[in-house]
Structure 1
Amino acid sequence: MSGLPAPVPAEAPRGHDPYRPPVAKAPAPTSWLRPSDPGRKASAGPRVVGAAALTGLLTAWMLGDGLGVNLLLCAVAVAVGAGIAARSAGRRLRVWTVLWSVLALVLVAVPALSEAGWPVALSLVCALALTSLALHGGRRWPGVLLALPGVLWHLVPGLRWARDGLRGLGGPGRGRLVPVLKAVAVAAVLLIVFGRLFASADAAMADVLSNLTPSVAPGEAPLRFALFALGVVTSLGFAHIAAGPRRWDRTVVKPGRERGRLEWALPLTALNLMFGAFALVQGVVVLGGRDAIMDNTGMSRSEYARQGFWQLMAVTVLTLVVVAVAKRWAPRSTAADRRLARIMLGVLCLLTLVVVASALGRMYYYVDASGLTRLRLWVLVVEVWLGAVFLLLIAAGLTRSAAWLPRAVVLSAAVTAAVYGLMGPDAIVAEQNVSRFEQSRQIDLRNVRDLSLDAVPALDRLPGDHRACALELMRIELAESHSPWYATSLAESRAREILTDRPVPDGGSACDRVGRRDFDRTGAY
């Protein structure tokens, strides 16, 4: 009997091996923030490291002179490295990956068109976030939101990954990498030597070479080295994501504790009644026109707009928080509970659209009375985007599944940032103020004097002293900057051409002659 196998239990499930010890299941994650970090399916081979080195060289070579087409070239080099890593890891190209990547490249192209600082900065931040999302992927809220800054978790591991990949190169791999590096070094030496000889031999050739190639002063060495390191680290970070992204979609988010109907619905009903009362008041006050505002409030349109815009902006943002919290704690045990939650939250979102429309109307009144500024245009764009978000929330409540909502919200934000950067906000501000001056002979020069070079074509239409005063700072900026072709935007080229054809006289004396009498005194924000 000792040599016979143990009997198989009668109730053993089909396919069960009684001689194999049971495999213990991995415990479910207890923390809500525990993303998976799978092993890299591909090592950092010579091509990935070469793409990172190329990105570093382009960054050190070009970005020290300013932003323009050079940023797009660096972005393409980063994309090449990430694409090589993704292909080596066997990852497939998906529709959303292409969409996020195209939007990121569009945002990176903004510095090549515009000189406005804030839109350029916003475009670059959004481009980095969208690139990270494209490489990570993600559908649920944790997967989408945590992937946006996800590249930060890959910068240092990307360096270690590249180091391990280079150490693991065998004879064939090292034999392919070393000749490439030698060829690049020899080509650089030849170009430098013969380029200097040609430049010293012919003035026209010297002018061509100076416009096509960067000039690096000895004192700029620390800056160039820092830019090189930034380019290499960024390229390796994105390639590290492409080779094996963190799966933020697997993050466990515990559902909120379900509340009773009365405990949940009573506060929301009271809030809906408050929003409904506001909507009725707006219908009486605003739709009646200018006379209705004066009769009902005793204020001008400008004063009425300035009184409440920021409060309504805060109401719109806070309502998003209320909707998120209420959805998390909404009763959901039965179909009737889920229907009640959709109806109550849908009514709140619909009424919030009235708040958004009222805020936009108030800003329209204020701009009509006082002119457009950068800040006013920016908050208008944000308010329009918030309205689009509430429309998406309403659409999600009307559909069976709202799995598309997280990516749709991020897509709306990315499109808004791209449109805002590409439309040239400073040019729009200048155009509105100049058109207002042509109609009313009133302009607040404080709204246009500190604009970027995007505003030059519109401000060039101002007469005499108004033109000289408005363009004074821009004239000084152009006189002090001589950027090479790769760091020159389309707006700067256009402005330089205009001011060369029609030079601007001394703006200080022109501003004195214009005087304070032409400045709008209604205040500015």
Structure 2
Amino acid sequence: MSDHTSETPRPAEAPEPSDPSGQAGTSEQAALSKAPPPESRGTAPEPPKVPGYAQQGGQQHPPDPWRPSSPQPSALSTLRPAEPAAIRGVTLCCVLATAMLSALLLGDGLGLNALIVAVPATLGAFFAARTAGRRLRPWTAFWAVGGLALLAVPALRDAGWPVFLAVVSAVALGSLALHGSRSWLGVFLGSLGLFSSIADGLAWGGRGVRARMTGSRRRLGAVLRSVAVAVVLLIVFGALFASADAAFADVLGSLMPDVSVSGSPWRFLLFVVGLVGALAAAYAAAAPVRWDGITVRRGKARGRLEWALPLIVLNMLFAVFIAVQLTVLLGGYDKVMAETDLSYSEYARQGFWQLLWATLLTLLVIALALRWAPRGRGRDRTLVRTVLGVLCLLTLIVVASALRRMDLYVDAYGLTRLRISVAAVELWLGVVLVLIMAAGVFGARLLPRAVAASAAVGVLAFGLISPDGLIAEQNVQRYRDDHSIDIAYLRGLSADAVPALDTLPEPLRSCALRDIERSLRSDHAPWYATSWGEARARDVLRKRSPDDPTRSCDGSRTGVGGSDRDGDESDPYDPY
């Protein structure tokens, strides 16, 4: 301790008496008490003999300019509730089960194993939420069930691109189920909010494991010994039974995952990913971030004329375009192509992409218009609903025109992955416009979640219809209708296209199935990583394996048949 804090205060000095009675001293003290302080008499105050920080007592130190200031609370901490209670044993078991299943099953590819791994992770999040006192709400159940349904797509389809969309959408729906957001920004950030719980989830799980290990080491040792004995018994007796019966050995080999030393680093990485993901999900369920707390201020309301005039002009432009489209429908495409010097294929290809961009820009215009819309009185709300409702209705007709252009496009060139993808996006944009119109009538409280739900349903439907199978069916049907067929493109499809390609006559059938058959022959994925489309393709090819018509497949861009229609050839603008 410093010397300044160890000094004891000295008693006040008694006044020197000027007379025996002491009255003069008393009057002199009164006069001194009424005298002004030294500062008021123009004298400079005496500087303190000790620094200011030492006069406050205690073990104070001079301020350190290199010491960081006290941390300010982050924006994320203000949105997240208090630290959740310690992680329960049942949640820890679900987390460990998710990590083990990830390491054992996901290393061989995606199939039914994606859904198997997601089940214990979902249960862990459910138990963590129930411990924290959260109730299961209808939208939470919808997001959770939708996410699990999307993980059924890898179990059904072999094509990688719809499977990727389904897995990404499943993660987004699971994150929404954990956070329960409602606003536009909340739904967007909530679909990505699972990643914000990774670090906190790891710390939360670590604290729970340490607490349980310090309190029950004896019981933990008993559990580990029991598990070790059970594993040894399974290995010994399983090996004996497998050597005694070949059928049992085949069944056991198909059920057990293939764990090799060479794949240990990859499986360890999958274990870590499963562990981190399950802990993040459980922590987000126990302490979700309230993304709805982030608000975006509405723009300054504009006057009626300033706001409505540009939109009315845009509505008039849309109306003129739609009138021209109706004229085309009534007068026929042949007359339009004769007047514009366009071939059938050029007219089919010309307008779809422009109309797709027009639809996207219209949604942007609607969002900006709502930001600066006049508000406050009933007439303002009626004006906004009327102008934007007309714009949405006209845009819906533009969407129908774009889809009709795509139909002509596909009729001229055939269906491809790019064409079916952009047509699905255009169709979903039409659904969004319908939801916006419904919100104008019934209120916009559910609009953000309804748009997110429509996107999830669209991704699920896109995966379930088997786009590769649909592409193969459409191109095979065009060949039967005396159009050409692009075998070089069809042979690059997935196993989902095998049932449709199997109906082609030889040698086109063998040319289309040769590469797919070779890929399936070299793939030895176990049952949990094999999709239903891949298993069905193997059954088809097992009944009638394709030949090896190397010479007849050299010029297989167009098959036998063909058409006199202008533009009935491969589209050089769409290599996909």
- TM-score (ref. length: structure 2): 0.82
- 1:432 is matched with which residue? 474
**Cα distance in 1, alignment partners of residues 285 and 101 from structure 2:** 21
Could you list the runs of 5+ residues in structure 1 that have no partner in the other structure?
1-29
Cα distance in structure 1, aligned partners of 2:379 and 2:424: 38
Contact kept in structure 2, 1:46 and 1:166, CA below 8 Å: no
Give the whole-Å Cα distance in 1 for the aligned partners of 2:410 and 2:441: 36
Q: Describe the shift of the 1:47–1:265 C-alpha distance in structure 2 as closer, same or farther (beyond 3 A).
A: same
Aligned residue identity for 1:239: A
2:324 counterpart of 1:281: yes
- Aligned equivalent of 1:199, options 242, 245, 262: 242
Q: How does 1:198-347 map to 2 (within 5 A)?
A: 198-347=241-390
The Cα shift of 1:89 comes to 1.1
* Deviation of 1:210 (Å): 1.3
Quote the residue 1:521 is aligned against: 570
Q: Counterpart amino acid of 2:352? A: F
Q: CA deviation at 1:34?
A: 8.1
1:458 equivalenced with 2:500 (yes/no)? yes
Structure 1 residue 515: Cα displacement: 6.1
User: Is 1:395–2:438 an aligned residue pair?
Assistant: yes
Correspondence 1:139 to 2:188: no
Describe the SS at the equivalent of 1:219: coil
CA deviation string 1:334-357 (max 9, x = no partner): 222222122111111111111101
1:500 alignment partner in structure 2? 542
Question: SS state of the match for residue 39, structure 1?
Answer: coil
Give 1:47 deviation, angstroms. Answer: 1.8
- SS where residue 510 of structure 1 aligns? coil
Asked if the contact 1:33–1:252 (Cα under 8 Å) also holds between the matched residues in 2, the reply is no
Q: Which deviates further from its counterpart, 180-189 or 117-126? A: 180-189
| 1:79 paired to 2:122 | yes
Once the two structures are TM-superposed, the CA of residue 291 in structure 1 deviates from its matched residue by: 2.2
Instruction: Please give the secondary structure, in 1, of the residue aligned with 2:551.
Output: helix
Partner of 2:511: 469
Question: What amino acid does structure 2 have at the position aligned with 1:343?
Answer: T
Cα displacement (A) at 1:433? 0.7
Give the whole-Å Cα distance in 2 for the aligned partners of 1:296 and 1:286: 15
Q: Deviations over 1:407-433 (max 9, x none)?
A: 111111110000001111111111111
Bigger relative contact order (CA 8 A; separation at least 6):
1
Letter in 2 for 1:466: L
Moved more, 144-153 or 255-264: 255-264
**CA 1:383–1:326 in 2, change beyond 3 Å: closer, same or farther?**
same
Q: CA deviation at 1:442?
A: 1.9
Bigger helix share = 1
Instruction: State TM-score, norm by structure 1.
Output: 0.90
With over 3 angstroms needed to count, the CA separation of the structure-2 counterparts of 1:175 and 1:387, relative to structure 1, is: farther
**CA shift in 2, pair 1:33/1:307, >3 Å:** farther
User: Offset at 1:44?
Assistant: 1.5
Cα distance in 1 for residues equivalent to 2:434 and 2:557: 47
Describe the shift of the 1:324–1:186 C-alpha distance in structure 2 as closer, same or farther (beyond 3 A). Answer: farther
Taking the aligned partners of 2:78 and 2:511, their CA distance within structure 1 comes to 57
Deviation at 1:197, TM superposition (A): 3.3
Which residue of 2 is the match for residue 154 of structure 1? 197
CA 1:240 to 1:41, structure 2 compared with 1: closer, same or farther past 3 Å?
same
CA–CA separation in structure 2 for the residues paired with 1:223 and 1:190: 27
**Quick one: distance in 2 between partners of 1:264 and 1:388?**
26
The Cα of 1:128 is off from its aligned counterpart by: 0.4
Letter in 2 for 1:521: S
Whole-Å separation in 1 of the counterparts to 2:558 and 2:410: 20
Counterpart residue identity of residue 277, structure 2: T
| Paired residues of 1:32 and 1:253 also in contact (CA < 8 A) | no
Q: Aligned-pair distance for 1:67?
A: 1.2
Cα distance in structure 2, aligned partners of 1:287 and 1:165: 72
User: In 2, Cα distance between the equivalents of 1:397 and 1:51?
Assistant: 44
- Give the stretch that moved more between structures: 372-381 or 501-510: 501-510
Partner of 2:55: none
CA RMSD for the aligned pairs?
2.2
CA gap of 1:381–1:157, structure 2 versus 1, over 3 A, is same
- Does 176-185 or 273-282 show the bigger shift? 176-185
**How far off its partner does 1:489 sit?**
0.8
Report the number of matched residues. Answer: 496
1:98 alignment counterpart: 141
Contact 2:485–2:558 (8 Å) recurs in 1: no
Letter matched to residue 115 of structure 1:
D
Per-residue Cα deviation, 1:295-317 (whole angstroms, up to 9, x for no partner): 34332332112111111111111
What percentage of aligned pairs have identical amino acids? 52
Which runs of no fewer than 5 residues in structure 2 stay unpaired?
1-72, 563-568
Is structure 2 residue 210 aligned with structure 1 residue 167? yes
Deviates more, 1:221-230 or 1:507-516: 507-516
Q: Which moved more, 1:297-306 or 1:444-453?
A: 297-306
Instruction: Assess, with a 3 A threshold, how the Cα gap between structure 1 residues 124 and 49 changes in structure 2: closer, same or farther.
Output: same
> Is the radius of gyration larger for structure 1 or structure 2?
2
Q: Once the 2 structures are TM-superposed, how far is the Cα of residue 396 of structure 1 from its aligned partner?
A: 0.8
Corresponding residue number in structure 2 for 1:483 = 525
- Residues 227-286 of structure 1, C-alpha deviation per residue, up to 9 Å, x if partnerless? 000111111111111111011122222111222223222222221121111111111123
Deviation at 1:48, TM superposition (A): 1.4
- The 1:501/1:392 distance shift into structure 2, 3 A limit, reads same
Residue by residue over 1:349-373, the C-alpha shift from the partner in whole angstroms, topping out at 9 and shown as x without a partner, is 1111111011100000011111111
